[in-house]
A and B are shown apart, each in its own frame.
Chain A
Amino acid sequence: MSVKDTLLTGSAHVNGIDIAYVDKGEGDPVVLLHGFPDSHYLWRHQIDPLVEAGFRVIAPDLRGFGESGKPQEVEAYDMRTIVNDVVALTQHLGIPKAHIVGHDWGAAIAWMYAFLMPRRVDHLAVLSVGHPGVFSTPSIEQRKASWYMLFYQFPGVSEQLLRRNGWRLFKEIMGGEGDHQRYPRELAKPGALTAALNWYRANRSPESELRVEANFPPVLAPTLGIWSTGDKALLEEGMTGSVKFVKGSWRYERVEDASHWIPLDQPEIVTKLLLGFLGTEKAAAVPTRRRRL
């Protein structure tokens, strides 16, 4: 009866899980990775313009979200596992190399994908979340903005508290941003809330993941960072400071009049930035692979 908000075109069993996705258009592939608590639907304003501009767009529901599998164990949401979902999906679709675009947790996945899998990445575009190496110690301001990430850690308890009294606490945290009216309906589906929170439980917060690892391999792909002035949880330095980790060319764009959900709040600007960037630059020299004897 209600309109189901979906543009999905297919589903594949890869890396041990069902991943639903949009695969639309022909041309250089672009992979769009959403964050919390979204789905491929976050990119609804960008998909068609990219297709019309001659790209093949792949937009999965990442595990735990939308129509994809929702394991209930925390361990299933390790970042590497999720990066491998994307690798396996692109392999399944016959795509050896793609532009990678990510927002929020999807940006964290995109960063990691880029430095772990340099040969599979053409251009990298990251929205909202900067390179994980930027904040070795989060500032107080950053911590305050992300208090709820801590709160999400308590399995069972936070699910109950978030849903209680008509999802009151969840609505308070979310405010009127993003697809705020849709999220509770999505998260009310069986197992969806626990799955979504498991992203935080397994990895704390998008920008703190991998902090423990001292040395990140450099990102060789040309990289575009986008941050919005209305982001209440993430600081601009997180994005601008990412430059030190990028060996390819680096471009930074600040978007005004947008909350954290830049693809929804400034859809045309995001589309324009992507179209003006993807496929325009050369990658930094890929280190030659040493042949084993």
Chain B
Amino acid sequence: MTVEHTGVDVVVVGGGIAGASAAANLAFNGLSVVLLEKQETYQDIVRGEWIAPWGLREAQTLGVEEAFGLGGAWEIREWTQWDETVDPAEAETVDMTRFVPGVGGPMSFPHHEVCALMAEQAEDNGATVVMGAQRAHVTAGTHPEVRWTHAGQEHLARPRLVIGATGRGCTVGRQVGVSMATSVHHWGGGLRVTGLDDWPMDVQAMGTEDEKMFMVFPQGDGNARLYINFPTANRKLYQGPEGEKRFIADFELASLPDRGKAVYSAAKPIGPLKLWPSVAMFPEQPIVMDGVVLVGDEAGNADTVLGTGLSCSLRDTRAVCEVLTGGDDWSPGAFEGYLAERKFRMDRLHFGADIIAKLYCEYGPAAAERRRRARGLMAENFAASVTGLLNMVPPEDVPDFGFSEFFAERLFRERA
């Protein structure tokens, strides 16, 4: 016996940032929405916890920004660019609060708490939220179909449209024939810690030393997310029982003030250490078809080193929600604007991510020399730091020249 859900406008499969924000917005606008999330309750599955100001702007437009603040988000105001090629006392600090009008700096937050609040908001707005939805199966077409099971019961809905938002697993995409090309530049590890009482909570760090690109993202109250990106060959470095200890100890860095004592001698883990390949994904077929639209990581994503995956997911959601709440045409043609904007955006993000990864996530003397030169160039001409803007403002607001081969070539040119 299958339970059939009738009168459903949209089924959203996957309740991450992309899916939950879509459900909240569509339900708020009066559509009949079912949100399917496979987790029983939201857990820390290690996703992005740093959101750029331009992503927060998207959240505001969607009406879901409060979920960040209430879910424990902390605004970070300054970014100090420590690095092995600079004396710690001379590292430059950027004020991050002024890039996007009406939004402050980026925010650092516990991801699963924010998803839970967004799903709750969707429910309050009238959506049906199914936690623990298993075996979701989507059939595309002008009359799409979604089947799933919940607590042993089979369910079926024939909505007008399915939004695929299952993330990097691309479950819906695979069911409707969208495959991904992938590339991996390096690996990364992340750990949530507490006890950083001597680390300024206003300041985030990013820099490279030896074979580590390190990041400290404060979450307020002595808490922070620590990340290290490292060469793929080192991916066993933090495995095993003492992995967390070694990970924290690796924040003893000559690049940081006082050799990073405020971190390595104080940090206590408050979450699991997770290691992952920093993967970029490129869809090989169109992400919009009859009855199905893909958003978020499921639609392809740039290398996580940029920290723009969340912002992209919200941008996708916003574009798709605008079509669904703006008129009656939900045919693939109605999403042309979304496709064009996404292509433009991802081209820029992939280009920028390549530059950032090459600059900060390659290691050894030659790479350090490259960073030193690039830094010199940026000091000489501020425009050379154009790629860094991708973290702060939306890709279309970054000046064109930052995406030219000419610029990349200049930035990386060996000394004549």
Q: Is B75 touching A1 in the complex (CB atoms < 8 A)?
A: no
Q: Is A1 touching B66 in the complex (CB atoms < 8 A)?
A: no
Whether A80 is near chain B, meaning CB under 8 Å from some CB there, is no
Q: Interface residues of A toward B: which range?
A: 10 to 19
Whether A151 is near chain B, meaning CB under 8 Å from some CB there, is no
Whether A163 is near chain B, meaning CB under 8 Å from some CB there, is yes
Whether B119 is near chain A, meaning CB under 8 Å from some CB there, is yes
Residues of A within 8 A of B72 (CB): 181
- Least CB separation from B110: chain A residue: A181
| Given A171-B74, A171-B220, A181-B72, A2 and B116 contact (CB-CB distance below 8 Å) | yes
Contact with B along A117-160 (1 / 0, CB 8 A): 00000000000000000000000000000000000000000000
Contact with B along A178-197 (1 / 0, CB 8 A): 00110011001000000000
Whether A10 is near chain B, meaning CB under 8 Å from some CB there, is no
Q: Is A168 touching B66 in the complex (CB atoms < 8 A)?
A: no
- Least CB separation from A176: chain B residue: B221
Q: How far is the CB of A162 from chain B (nearest CB, A)?
A: 10
Q: What count of chain B residues pass the 8 Å CB interface test?
A: 24
Cα–Cα distance between A17 and B221 once the two chains are bound (Å)? 37
Whether A215 is near chain B, meaning CB under 8 Å from some CB there, is no
| Given A171-B220, A188-B66, A1 and B119 contact (CB-CB distance below 8 Å) | yes
Q: Is A1 touching B107 in the complex (CB atoms < 8 A)?
A: no
The main secondary structure of chain B at its interface with chain A is: mixed
Q: Is B221 touching A164 in the complex (CB atoms < 8 A)?
A: no
Q: Is B104 touching A184 in the complex (CB atoms < 8 A)?
A: no
Whether A175 is near chain B, meaning CB under 8 Å from some CB there, is yes
- Least CB separation from B220: chain A residue: A171
The main secondary structure of chain A at its interface with chain B is: helix
Whether A276 is near chain B, meaning CB under 8 Å from some CB there, is no
Whether A16 is near chain B, meaning CB under 8 Å from some CB there, is no
Q: Is A188 touching B116 in the complex (CB atoms < 8 A)?
A: no
Identify which of A1, A2, A166, A180 contacts B73 (C-beta below 8 A).
Answer: A166
Contact sample, A vs B, 24 pairs, CB 8 Å cutoff: A1-B116, A1-B123, A163-B69, A164-B104, A165-B103, A165-B105, A166-B68, A166-B74, A166-B75, A166-B109, A167-B69, A167-B70, A168-B74, A168-B75, A168-B104, A171-B74, A171-B220, A175-B221, A176-B220, A176-B222, A180-B221, A181-B72, A184-B70, A185-B70
Residue numbers of B with Cβ under 8 A of A are 65-66, 68-70, 72-75, 103-105, 107, 109, 116-117, 119-120, 123, 129, 131, 220-222
